[in-house]
Amino acid sequence: MFDFPRAIPDERGCGDREPGGVYVESGLSPYGRPLEHFLFDPPLPLPAGVDLVNKPCLWQRVDPETQEPVLDLETGRPVYDLLIHIGAEHYEYAPDYVEESRRLGASRRLNANLDLSLLTRRSHMLLAHPKAIIVPWRDLTLPE
Amino acid sequence: MTIDDLAEFDFHRSSLTERLKMARLPGPILTQILAGKISQEVTRQMVRLTSTQQEQVAHLAQQGEDITAERIKGVLRAQINTGLAPVQTTLTHAWAGIPEPHVHLTSGNGYTPTTAMEEGTTCASRSDAPLSPAQVLSILGRFEPQTSANPGLTRVGMLARVLIKELQIALREHTVQPTSTTATPEREVIHV
């Protein structure tokens, strides 16, 4: 069993963990790259047809050029990533979740019916926030 | 009457929105839905298609083709994969400089010092730089699946698989020296 950094089980913007729930998590290491390294900057839109609200899903990673499945070099099996929605009702803006992750690590509840055996060490958690892309940017005013 | 008006009468807003989208599907698709040839589940998936994809499905329906759940699922998957391409590309670039997680079982936090081989991979961006074993493994890993589809490459495929196995063993044992003779880059760490 690998021993990765764990998230801190403290109360979060979306509340406390529920007994019996299935959670995916990642703690932070004092080493490595800053959290900002893992942000999409500029943020990218979700593809049309993706509905993640309350529906985290596993998505098979494909080569962006050939559309062929990306295989795990150790196991030869396809690599699956987790696509997860961060709700604006609990985290109004994307930085709210970023700052929480900086403090407590990332932790999201999953649907217990997901086939988690598809996840490997090469899987990524891809988090999407509805306000990550500022649509009415023309309406914004410069800070005083 | 708007959706807001209907919502005031306790109709579920998201359900109304979905039904409205269903009603706006192209004519040939609606004809098949009304004829009972397309299930509600498949219709729900079609709503998620772009208008271009919907038109293509409508064209197929017009030609008398069966609009099956599998077909729609395939179209939707291809659409999402195409949309995720920029994400995958960004991820590929963002993680390119980060060595693979050779996490030790006894490690407390996932921190792992880089090996000579991993350091070799950080020199990969220069086109004239020699390839490290990890890069060769990566290239072979992408190439090998193609050999099974081509009978002329059967023997090449077998040799590729043998080479992949040998490289994996060598990488695991960390005994191969880096092929690059350039200055050793600053030590990288794993961050999970």
What tokens were used for A109? 């509840």
Is A62 part of the contact surface with chain B (CB cutoff 8 Å)? yes
- Are the beta carbons of A50 and B141 separated by less than 8 Å? no
Residue with tokens 């729900």: B44
- Are the beta carbons of B49 and A49 separated by less than 8 Å? yes
Strands A80-85 vs A57-60: parallel, antiparallel or unpaired = antiparallel
Residues of A in contact with B109 (CB under 8 A): 3-5, 27, 29-31
Scanning every residue of chain A, which has its alpha carbon at the shortest distance from the alpha carbon of B45? A49
pTM score of the predicted model? 0.64
Sequential DSSP letters for A46-100:
PPTT---TT--EEEE-B-TTT-PBPBPTTT-PBPEEEEEE--TTTSSSHHHHHHH
- Are the beta carbons of A4 and B78 separated by less than 8 Å? no
B167, B140 contact by CB (below 8 A): yes
| Residue from B45, B73, B84, B173 whose CB has the most chain A CBs within 10 Å, to mutate | B84
Scanning every residue of chain B, which has its alpha carbon at the shortest distance from the alpha carbon of A28? B192
Residues of A in contact with B166 (CB under 8 A): none
pLDDT digit string, tens, across residues B111-136: 343 333 433 333 333 456 678 888 88
Scanning every residue of chain B, which has its alpha carbon at the shortest distance from the alpha carbon of A37? B94
A21, A109 contact by CB (below 8 A): yes
What tokens were used for B13? 């807003």
**How many residues are there in chain B?**
192
pLDDT digit string, tens, across residues A26-76: 998 887 788 888 899 889 999 988 889 888 999 999 888 888 888 988 888
Q: Where are the domains of chain B?
A: 3-91, 100-173
pLDDT of B138 strictly over 80: yes
Kindly compute the dihedral angle of the four CA atoms of residues B60, B62, B65, B70, in this order, to the nearest 10 degrees: 50
Backbone angles phi, psi at A5, to 5 degrees: -60, 135
Distance from CA of B147 to the nearest CA of A (A): 13
Closest CA to A51 of A83, A22, A93, A79: A83
A61, A79 contact by CB (below 8 A): yes
Question: What ipTM, to 2 d.p.?
Answer: 0.79
- Are the beta carbons of A68 and B90 separated by less than 8 Å? no
pLDDT of B158 strictly over 70: yes
pLDDT of B99 strictly over 70: no
pLDDT of B95 strictly over 50: yes
Q: List, in order, residues 6 or more apart from A21 with CB less than 8 Å away.
A: A109, A112
pLDDT digit string, tens, across residues A80-112: 999 999 999 999 999 999 999 999 999 999 999
